[in-house]
Amino acid sequence: MSYAVGGSNFINNLGRIYAMYTGTFAGFVVLIGILEWMGVPSTILGYLYIFLTIGVYALIGVLSRTAEVSEYYVAGRSVPAFYNGMATGADWMSAASFIGMAGSLYFGGYGGLAFVLGWTGGYVLVSILMAPYLRKFGQYTVPDFFGARYGGNAARTLAVIVLIMASFTYVVAQIVGVGVITARFLGMEYKLACFVGLIGILVCSLLGGMKAVTWTQVAQYIILIIAYLIPAIVMSFKLTGVPIPQLMYGFALEKIEVLEKTLGVAQGHAAAFVDAKGQYSATAMWNYFALIFCLMLGTASLPHILMRYFTTPSVRQARDSVAWSLFFIFLLYFTAPAYAAFAKLEVYQNLIGTPIDKLPGWVATWGRPGLALVGACDAANAAQLFPICAGVKGNADGILQLNEFRIHTDAIVLATPEIAGLPYVITGLVAAGGLAAALSTADGLLLAIANALSHDVYYKMIDPAADTKRRLVISRVLLLIVAVIAAYTAGELGADILFLVSWAFSIAASGLFAGLVLGIWWKRCGNAAGVWGVAAGFATCMFFLVATEFYGPWVKSAMSWMGDIQIVKARGRDVAYIWGINNISVGIFGIPVAFLVQWIVGKMSEPASQDMQDFIDSIRVPAGEVKSIEGAAAH
């Protein structure tokens, strides 16, 4: 019996295959634990983790190599709902979710929960508005849908532009994540680390396209969720005696609230919509809701997520698959606030007020030059021991005060294993998990970009006569080129670009959300309306994004008719906040404009042809053929 990846034997035995894989991985972790116990230095353990996990992904990639168009673009439409859910989970959860989110919650408290809500609620929209209909439509890419629904290449081209803008912004952030983790654990130079990470990404996607990415993502999900849950469980057991972090951090919140009063922290961790002084702030509330809105609609518009639902065997499984996706994402997201609460409790309870010479070992480990994630900035020369202390003035009384303690967002997840007293083997596991999260998302995004270029631009618009072999070669060459450009950009931009992720959501939502929803749910909407809707939404979003970010003072003087505009120092620039709204939520301008323009043009111009309306009826019903229409001809 052969178990060729993607073959029917493989599909029928998925449970057994991935159970064996998980067992082997657990054995591997135990082995590294034994090596650590025998005294092997941690740098070598770090190399073992990173190269062995990338090796496994590469092996799956090689085993999944394919010469078939349908396997390359949509994994042969054979991925069962449950496993597609896992793959979507890995595709979705990026370095920002895995490493950054708990840190944002540590600093933002309630305010940070906008990310938890925004990055989950969008799946409800995917489930009810889009996934089943896109699966029935049954082509290869999201721009395929725009091309078919809105009559040809104008809509297709616009969709490709939006897709590339959003996905490229997002993929750069992922490669930064890969670079940061690799640099940190292997002591490699950051720019070089970006290109090492790039190899990790390419080995899985280049040979097997979507098929390879799918089965690698399932493997990556298993590693990332194990790596995320173990430290939180141990931390919960250490602090509360019960190993269920998601249930027990309520008690940590209660203790934090008491300690906040003693330590004089005005902005309570769990307090909703308060400013730095602890007062109720309407601006904080509107920012919270604006961000949730943009992240949710962005979720339902990001092509690398939507295209995962092209890979299920049926419409019914596409719907089930959305629910499973959210389930697997939920497992991580409802644990993140526990990380933040436990870390904060540990800091407030056991760290602040400790004599500097009695600080726990993890402060020195994570604070040393080269990592610089934590700092105890009491003495005047603290910056020599802890680079993060630069510019902080301590009172040199030999005791750590709250305002003398510095911690970087990334340290919350990375340092928790050591705070909980776990050996290095678990710290390495967390790094491998973070790497899996960043690699899997980067894979999905690169594939979305390369597919749009090779399928939509090259095959559909430049050379429709191209044969299979040529199409796949073009696709792989483009994947390589885009990947190298992204890695180069990531290397140049450096670390602080997580705001790019939020922009990607706003761009995707402004450009694609209205076109997708109205295309399916408003049958009479004509071609011109769709084209104008996408163009207007995207242009509005990009205008406000560029203007507020790079021309803040100009926005303040020239656009004062819009109402209150503030200038805020961010990323070394004067950024304009219109109505006090942070420009990471710039989609609140683009999304309504897209709907409004598409609706007005739709009412004024010619409605969809009878053929088009029959086509829409045919994608609304799961059974039966999809009516063929210009741009949606059989592949």
Partner 1 sequence: MATKLTPDQMQSYWGKTSKLMWTILALWFFFSFVVHFFAPSLNGIRILGFPLGFYMAAQGSLIAFLAMCFYNAKAQNAIDEEFGVSDE
To the nearest whole angstrom, how small is the minimum distance from the Cβ of residue 61 to partner 1?
30
Query: Can you spell out the DSSP letters for 540-605?
Result: HHHHHHHHHHH-HHHHHHHTGGGS-EEEEEETTEEEEEETT--GGGTHHHHHHHHHHHHHHHHHHS
Tell me the closest approach of the beta carbon of residue 213 to partner 1, in angstroms. Answer: 23
CA torsion, ordered 78, 80, 81, 86, to nearest 10 deg: -100
Rounded to an integer, what distance in angstroms lies between the CA atom of residue 318 and that of residue 312? 6
Toward partner 1, which CB reaches closer, 271 or 383? 271
Which residues neighbour 600 within 8 Å (Cβ) at sequence distance 6 or greater?
Answer: none
Contact 494, 157 (CB under 8 A): no
The minimum distance between CB 209 and partner 1, in angstroms, equals 25
Dihedral of CA atoms 429, 434, 437, 440 in degrees, nearest 10, equals -80
Residue 241 C-beta: closest distance to partner 1, Å: 14
Amino acid sitting at position 586: V
CA–CA gap between residue 489 and residue 83 (Å, rounded): 33
Report, in Å, the least distance between residue 86 CB and partner 1.
Answer: 15
Contact between 173 and 446 under an 8 Å Cβ cutoff? The reply is: no
Q: What are phi and psi of 523, to 5 degrees?
A: -65, -35
Closest of 128, 169, 241 to residue 508, by C-alpha: 169
- Judged by CB, which is closer to partner 1: 115, or 386? 115
Cβ nearer to partner 1, comparing 271 with 385: 271
Write down the least CB distance from residue 249 to partner 1, Å: 8
> Rounded to an integer, what distance in angstroms lies between the CA atom of residue 213 and that of residue 209?
6
Q: Which is nearer to partner 1, 296 or 445 (CB)?
A: 296
Report, in Å, the least distance between residue 258 CB and partner 1. 11
CB of 291 to partner 1, least distance (A): 12
Q: Least distance from C-beta 362 to partner 1, angstroms?
A: 26
Nearer to partner 1, 247 or 546 (CB): 247
User: What is the closest distance, in whole angstroms, from the C-beta atom of residue 340 to partner 1 in the complex?
Assistant: 10
Q: What is the DSSP letter of 422?
A: -
Smallest gap from residue 101 Cβ to partner 1 (A): 12
Residue 604 CB contacts under 8 Å (≥ 6 apart), including other chains: none
Nearest CB to partner 1, comparing residues 368 and 523: 523
- Between 112 and 552, name the residue whose CB sits nearer to partner 1: 112
**Choice between 204 and 514, CB closer to partner 1:** 514
H and E: helices and strands count for the chain: 28, 4
Q: Cβ of residue 581: shortest distance to partner 1, in angstroms?
A: 15
Nearer to partner 1, 323 or 392 (CB): 323
Structure tokens at 11: 């599909």
Beta strand pairing status for 565-570 and 405-407?
A: unpaired
Nearer residue to partner 1 within complex by CB, 288 or 386: 288
CB 374 within 8 A of CB 343: no
CA dist 45 and 362 (Å) reads 18
How wide is the angle at C-alpha 532 spanned by C-alphas 529 and 534, nearest 5°?
105
Q: Is-contact 602 518, C-beta < 8 A?
A: yes
Q: Which is nearer to partner 1, 101 or 186 (CB)?
A: 101
Question: C-beta of 137: minimal distance to partner 1 in Å?
Answer: 13
Strands (E), 236-377: 374-376
Residue numbers at the binding site for partner 1 (CB under 8 A): 110, 113, 116-117, 120-121, 123-125, 127-129, 132, 136, 246-247, 249-254, 270-273, 280, 285, 288-289, 292-293, 296, 314-317, 319-320, 322-323, 326-327, 330, 333-334, 337, 521, 617, 620-625
Residue count (the chain): 635
Nearer of residues 145 and 339 to partner 1, judged by Cβ: 339
> Residue with structure tokens 């760290």?
351
Nearer to partner 1, 192 or 270 (CB): 270
Q: Count how many Cα atoms sit within 13 Å of the Cα of residue 461 in the half-sphere of its side chain.
A: 19
d(CA 465, CA 408): 54
CA distance 4 to 558: 63
CA distances in angstroms from 154 to 510, 528, 586, listed in the order given: 17, 9, 25
CB of 279 to partner 1, least distance (A): 11
Return the number of the residue (33 or 592) whose C-beta is nearest partner 1.
592
